[in-house]
Structure 1
Amino acid sequence: MHLASEPNREALQDLPSHDEDWLIVAGDIAEKFEHVRLAFETLTRKFAKVFWVPGNHDLWAIPDRNDGPALAGEARYRALVDCARDYGVLTPEDPFETWEGSGGPLVIAPLFLLYDYSFRPDHIGRDEVVDWAREEGAVCADELFLNHAPFESREDWCARRCEETERRLEEIPDGLPTILVNHYPLRRDLIHIPRAPRFTPWCGTRRTEDWHRRFNARVVISGHLHTRRTDWRDGSRFEEVSLGYPRQWDQNKGMAHYLRDVLPE
């Protein structure tokens, strides 16, 4: 949603109410807590239930005059979760909800998995990957703003999140289909960024490439790439749902134009 941009904030206010619908927000609301709170307050008035997963922009530790010293790393994530819960928004730390309406039942699983730089060519080592990406102009501001404290690295944080999340997903009753929601795509072959083809190292982890099969996903939702599209793998539908920066969507159509029906299919 990138609410640091004023046109996006205006579009949020103009979004019509959908009183009976549930809304999934796949990360990157904003860098500032004031804009995150604006989103939660507005969306919970317009939708019956709201789910959220964090994106990298939400986790950036940028000093903010309105919120004091910037929280970083795990502490920032936990503060965002607390903020979401203040508005009744469901997060990756909450029990999974089951949709019983049209197309259900399905378990909606918000995930927070991060990335570990493994979305790179096999011949490129971890210590080479940032320079390899920079050769073609791909540089991620996460290298400056995404603090991984108290973990030793983003890879360690990612590994911990994947391990904890796997355990929770394995507890879903066999045969019950799911909707998996993560800011980052779960598979490398879903990444299509023509303007920055070497941005892939900041886009996910190979650990999740079979999760749509393992966890019976009917739909997998991501919001990191700013390249809206629908893909199919092994009978699962993958939706990349970014709104993006003002230049990346038609403001004359409004934000409602970019909402997607997950169910019914």
Structure 2
Amino acid sequence: MKLYAISDLHIGHATNRQALEELPSYPDDWLILAGDVGETLDHLRYALSLLTRRFARVIWVPGNHDLWTIPSQKTSSDNLRGDAKYAALVSICRSYGVLTPEDPYVQWPGAGTPYLLAPLFLLYDYSFRPAEIPEEKALEWALEADILCSDEYLLHPDPYPSRAAWCAARCAYTERRLQVVEPTTPLILINHFPLYEPLVRLKRIPRFSLWCGTRRTHDWHKRFPTAMVIYGHLHIPRTDVVDGVHFEEVSLGYPQQWNKEKGIQGYLRQILPSLTESSPR
């Protein structure tokens, strides 16, 4: 029995969707989906209809793309915005028996350490920026480098006044849940966005960091009994070890960013049983 993780399937792209269809079955294993399955409710339904038949259990967290409201979508369900869109995504997951950030954390039933798997939904708040840039100037700073995330047009925070306010509420909610975890219980934290700012290494578009997380979580891997953090969003698969905690970026990415010869199965990251400790790559 193994636990695998992947994120950023982006099945709105036909190449990625076809590759997902060709993914073989892992009937004894669990899968973490760390966000950005697609952009619509139908994308999530389609992905889960395949993956829940090919894995024994699936755990999902939302990415920014999953939360988008696409203007060209004509159905009322895909005109949902903000928290209502998130609630609809959670409802779809539950209809397939998929665990979400709104469900109780679940203990890994496989061999070895009884890790507690904690899916999170935390968003971002523009705090991943240089100290000399005030928050009200953050977007202007990004635009100076011709960087602007599509979230600014497609990810609505309703009923919150801003995405930063939604992020603050999600962080407060999640902190309350993590604070009651027994300190001797090893956690695997699962979020779409990076929890630790220094891991946001975007050499070509460094100012995209604004849409990559929140400093509210910078010490969560130390405050809570964390063994590993699973995340995506950056489309830069890698492993880092910070303060003895493994951080695993598990993205697939857009069609031009991954090797089709490997198939999606070549990008499934084995999380448990833990592989031999390795240095960052």
TM-score where L is the length of structure 1: 0.98
Of the three residues 159, 165, 173, the one matched with 1:150 is: 159
Deviations 1:236-261 (A, max 9, x none): 00011110000000111100000011
Letter in 2 for 1:174: P
Letter in 1 for 2:68: W
Of the three residues 1, 4, 25, the one matched with 1:17 is: 25
Of the three residues 204, 207, 212, the one matched with 1:198 is: 207
Given that 1:33 and 1:67 are in contact with CA atoms closer than 8 Å, whether structure 2 keeps it comes out as no
Given that 1:61 and 1:71 are in contact with CA atoms closer than 8 Å, whether structure 2 keeps it comes out as yes
Closer, same or farther in 2 for the Cα pair 1:69/1:105, shift >3 Å? closer
Rounded Cα–Cα distance in structure 2 between residues aligned with 1:69 and 1:200: 28
Rounded Cα–Cα distance in structure 2 between residues aligned with 1:260 and 1:105: 19
Letter in 1 for 2:39: E
Letter in 2 for 1:21: D
1:44 corresponds to: 52
Secondary structure (helix, strand or coil) at the match of 1:252 reads: helix
Instruction: After TM superposition, give the deviation of residue 61 of structure 1 in Å.
Output: 0.8
Letter in 1 for 2:183: D
Given that 1:137 and 1:196 are in contact with CA atoms closer than 8 Å, whether structure 2 keeps it comes out as no
Secondary structure (helix, strand or coil) at the match of 2:228 reads: strand
Q: How many pairs does the alignment contain?
A: 265
Closer, same or farther in 2 for the Cα pair 1:69/1:212, shift >3 Å? closer
Rounded Cα–Cα distance in structure 2 between residues aligned with 1:68 and 1:20: 34
1:230 corresponds to: 239
Please say if 1:102 is aligned against 2:107. no
Secondary structure (helix, strand or coil) at the match of 1:261 reads: strand
TM-score where L is the length of structure 2: 0.92
Please say if 1:3 is aligned against 2:6. no
Rounded Cα–Cα distance in structure 1 between residues aligned with 2:187 and 2:17: 31
Rounded Cα–Cα distance in structure 1 between residues aligned with 2:167 and 2:196: 15
Rounded Cα–Cα distance in structure 1 between residues aligned with 2:59 and 2:76: 24
Percent same amino acid at aligned positions?
A: 54
2:125 corresponds to: 116
Rounded Cα–Cα distance in structure 2 between residues aligned with 1:192 and 1:201: 12
Rounded Cα–Cα distance in structure 1 between residues aligned with 2:10 and 2:88: 19
Instruction: After TM superposition, give the deviation of residue 103 of structure 1 in Å.
Output: 3.2
Of the three residues 77, 81, 89, the one matched with 1:72 is: 81
Deviations 1:191-250 (A, max 9, x none): 111221111111111010111111111110111111111101011000111100000001
Given that 2:189 and 2:226 are in contact with CA atoms closer than 8 Å, whether structure 1 keeps it comes out as yes
Rounded Cα–Cα distance in structure 1 between residues aligned with 2:100 and 2:146: 34
Letter in 2 for 1:28: D
Rounded Cα–Cα distance in structure 1 between residues aligned with 2:208 and 2:202: 8
Secondary structure (helix, strand or coil) at the match of 2:209 reads: helix
Of the three residues 186, 208, 221, the one matched with 1:212 is: 221
1:244 corresponds to: 253
Please say if 1:27 is aligned against 2:32. no
Deviations 1:104-152 (A, max 9, x none): 2000000000011111111101111111112122210011111001001
Letter in 1 for 2:89: L
Letter in 1 for 2:159: P
Given that 2:63 and 2:233 are in contact with CA atoms closer than 8 Å, whether structure 1 keeps it comes out as yes
Q: CA RMSD in A?
A: 1.1
Rounded Cα–Cα distance in structure 1 between residues aligned with 2:41 and 2:75: 9
Given that 1:28 and 1:57 are in contact with CA atoms closer than 8 Å, whether structure 2 keeps it comes out as yes
Structure 1 outlier segments of 4+, above 4 Å: 66-69
Letter in 2 for 1:34: D
Closer, same or farther in 2 for the Cα pair 1:69/1:219, shift >3 Å? closer
Rounded Cα–Cα distance in structure 2 between residues aligned with 1:104 and 1:7: 37
Rounded Cα–Cα distance in structure 1 between residues aligned with 2:186 and 2:175: 15
Instruction: After TM superposition, give the deviation of residue 65 of structure 1 in Å.
Output: 3.0
Question: Gaps spanning 5+ residues in structure 2: where?
Answer: 1-8, 275-281
Closer, same or farther in 2 for the Cα pair 1:192/1:103, shift >3 Å? farther
